[in-house]
Amino acid sequence: DQQVKQNSPSLSVQEGRISILNCDYTNSMFDYFLWYKKYPAEGPTFLISISSIKDKNEDGRFTVFLNKSAKHLSLHIVPSQPGDSAVYFCAASARGGTYKYIFGTGTRLKVLA
């Protein structure tokens, strides 16, 4: 049972345009969410997070939106750059839990120059 789902395995976007990566979750106890970026042959690196008390968090070109009623979050990258080409994972956790995260299956983003 996949509690965190990324339904798009891949996405291609033109350089300079917006990239939107989506993530859905099923567990209503999740209240902290993160996005990671992973390049080949490297470990995932933390990108941005959001707590359930917010519906938006912004950091430079990256913005994460959270829609709790729809159990949906999205990552917006504006403008997209070729260096953003990577696999993006969303992850979720529940406060009061064991500090572990449930990861989605990932979306491979390709930004075309």
Partner 1 sequence: DVKVTQSSRYLVKRTGEKVFLECVQDMDHENMFWYRQDPGLGLRLIYFSYDVKMKEKGDIPEGYSVSREKKERFSLILESASTNQTSMYLCASSPTTGGLQPQHFGDGTRLSIL
Task: Give the CA diameter of the chain.
Answer: 44
Distance of closest approach, residue 17 Cβ to partner 1, in angstroms: 26
Residues 75-104 that bind partner 1 (CB under 8 A): 89, 91, 93, 95, 98-104
Residue 62 CB, shortest distance to partner 1, in Å, is: 14
Rule CB under 8 A: choose which of 13, 34, 77, 86 binds partner 1.
Answer: 34
The answer to the question of residue 46 lying near partner 1 (CB under 8 A) is yes
Q: Does 16 bind partner 1 (CB under 8 A)?
A: no
d(CA 68, CA 105): 20
Cβ of residue 34: shortest distance to partner 1, in angstroms?
A: 6
Pick the closest to residue 60 from 44, 76, 45 (CA basis). 76
Cβ atoms of 41 and 98 closer than 8 Å: no
Confirm if 18 and 77 have CB atoms less than 8 A apart.
yes
Q: In the chain, which residue ranges form alpha helices assigned H by DSSP?
A: none
In the complex, which residues of this chain contact partner 1 (CB under 8 A)? 6, 9, 32, 34, 36, 41-46, 49, 89, 91, 93, 95, 98-106
